[in-house]
Amino acid sequence: MAVVRMLALTLIGPKKEMEKVASLMVLSGGFQPLPLDLLLKDRTIRSKITSVSENPYDELLVKLASIWQAAGEKPPLPMPIQVSPDFSLKIASMQINKIVRRLELWASKKEELSEKLERLEAILILMRALKERSLNLEDLFDTKYLVPIFAKASDDNFRRLVDSSEEAPLLIEPLLSRGGNTWFLGLTAPGYEEGAQKLLESLYCKKFSLKDLQQELRGNVEESISKRIENLKRAISGLEKASSMLLEQNREYFINLYSTIYTMQRVYELCRGRGELKDLYILSGWIPEDILERVRPDLERLAPQTVIHVEEVKAIPYSGIKVPTLLKNLPFVRAFQDVVALYSLPSYGEMDPSFLVAITFCLFFGFMFGDVGHGAMLFVIAAILQKKKVLSRSMGIVLKSAGVSSALFGFLYGSMFGIEGIIHPLWISPMEDMGDLLGFSIGIGVSILTLGMVLNMIIQYRAKDFGRLLFDGRGLAGAILYLSLAAMSYATFKGIPLPGPKWVYWSIPILLFLVILFRDILARVILRKREKEEEKLGLYVFEVFHNLLSFLSNTASFVRLAAFALNHVGLSLAVMMLSDMVRDLPGGLILKGTLLVLGNVLIVGLEGLIVFIQTLRLEYYEFFGKFYRGGGKAFRPVTFEGKMPFRKSRSVIK
User: Is there a single domain that holds both residue 573 and residue 451?
Assistant: yes
Higher pLDDT, 228 or 440: 440
Helix, strand, or coil (residue 187):
strand
pLDDT value, residue 43: 47
Is the same domain home to 444 and 587?
A: yes
Q: pLDDT band for 643, please (50, 70, 90 cuts).
A: low
Instruction: List C-alpha distances in Å: 440 to 423, 428, 491, 541, 558.
Output: 22, 11, 15, 33, 10
Taking alpha carbons only, the member of 460, 462, 470, 461 closest to residue 524 is 470
DSSP state of 52: B
Which DSSP string do the residues of 105-135 spell out, in sequence order?
HHHHHHHHHHHHHHHHHHHHHHHHHHHHTT-
* 556 and 434 fall within a common domain: yes
Residue 206, beta-bridge partner list = 152
Number of domains in the chain: 2
Q: Is the residue at 514 inside a domain?
A: no
Instruction: Tell which wins on pLDDT, 578 or 46.
Output: 578
Do 581 and 432 sit in the same domain of this protein?
yes
pLDDT digits 0-9 by tens, 62-115:
888 888 988 888 888 887 777 776 777 788 889 899 998 998 899 889 888 988
Task: State whether 423 and 556 are in the same domain.
Answer: yes
pLDDT band at 432 (very low <50, low <70, confident <90, very high): confident
- CB-neighbour burial class of residue 474 (10 A; exposed 0-12, middle 13-18, buried 19+): buried
Picking from 294-308, 492-506, 513-527, 625-639, which range would have the lowest pLDDT averaged per residue? 492-506
How do residues 28-72 score in pLDDT, each as one tens digit?
Answer: 888 888 765 544 444 444 444 455 557 778 888 888 888 898 888
Q: Could you give the CA distance from residue 387 to residue 515 in angstroms, rounded to a whole number? A: 56
Query: What is the rounded distance in angstroms from the CA atom of residue 294 to the CA atom of residue 302?
Result: 14
- Which domain covers residue 120, as residue numbers? 109-237
* Residue 389 domain-assigned (yes or no): yes
Is 491 inside a domain boundary?
A: no
pLDDT tens, residue by residue, 135-172: 777 777 667 778 888 889 999 999 988 888 887 888 88
What is the spatial distance between Cα 128 and Cα 158, in angstroms, rounded to a whole number? 20
pLDDT, position 145:
75
For the chain, the first-to-last Cα distance in angstroms comes to 55
Whether 450 contacts 360, CB under 8 Å: no
The answer to whether position 255 is within a domain reads no
Last residue of a domain, one of 182, 215, 237: 237
Are residues 362 and 215 part of one domain?
no
Does 647 score more than 50 pLDDT? no
CB 416 within 8 A of CB 376: no
Domain end residue (candidates: 203, 237, 271)? 237
Consecutive H or E run containing 173: strand 170-178
CA separation for the pair 144, 233 (Å, rounded): 39
State if pTM tops 0.75. no
337 plus 230 within the same structural domain? no
Question: Among 70-74, 76-80, 248-252, 347-351, whose mean pLDDT is lowest?
Answer: 76-80
Distances (CA, A) of 635 to 161, 285, 328: 58, 11, 12
Q: Residues 295, 27: contact at Cβ < 8 Å? A: no
Q: Which residue has the higher pLDDT, 650 or 53?
A: 53
Considering 237, 252, 270, which residue would you say is the last residue of a domain? 237
pLDDT above 60 for 650: no
* 8 A C-beta contact, residue 221 and residue 182: no
DSSP-derived secondary structure for 539-580: HHHHHHHHHHHHHHHHHHHTHHHHHHHHHHHHHHHHHHHHHH
Residues 208 and 335 grouped into a single domain: no
CATH of the domain at 131: 3.30.70.2750
Same-domain check for residues 222 and 336: no
Q: In this structure, are residues 380 and 605 in contact, taking their beta carbons and an 8 Å threshold?
A: no
Residue 579 within any structural domain of the chain: yes
Same domain, 414 and 561: yes
Bigger pLDDT: 531 vs 632 = 632
d(CA 188, CA 150): 11
Do 226 and 332 sit in the same domain of this protein?
no
- Given a contact cutoff of 8 angstroms between Cβ atoms, the answer to whether 269 and 19 are in contact is no
Q: Please answer whether residues 568 and 606 qualify as being in contact, where contact means their C-beta atoms are separated by less than 8 angstroms.
A: no
Q: Is residue 371 predicted with pLDDT exceeding 90?
A: yes
CA distance 75 to 72: 10
Q: Is residue 620 part of a domain?
A: yes
Whether residue 434 contacts residue 420, with contact meaning beta carbons closer than 8 Å, is answered with: no
The alpha carbon of residue 113 and the mean position of all alpha carbons in its chain are separated, in whole angstroms, by 46
Q: Contact at 8 Å (CB) between 619 and 402?
A: no
pLDDT tens-digit readout, 183-230: 898 888 888 888 888 888 888 898 888 777 777 666 667 778 888 889
Residue 376: per-residue pLDDT: 95
Q: Does residue 571 fall inside a structural domain? A: yes
Domain assignment present for residue 17? The answer is no
Which of the listed ranges 30-44, 93-107, 435-449, 463-477 does the model predict with the highest average pLDDT?
Answer: 435-449
**Looking at residue 44, what is its pLDDT?**
44
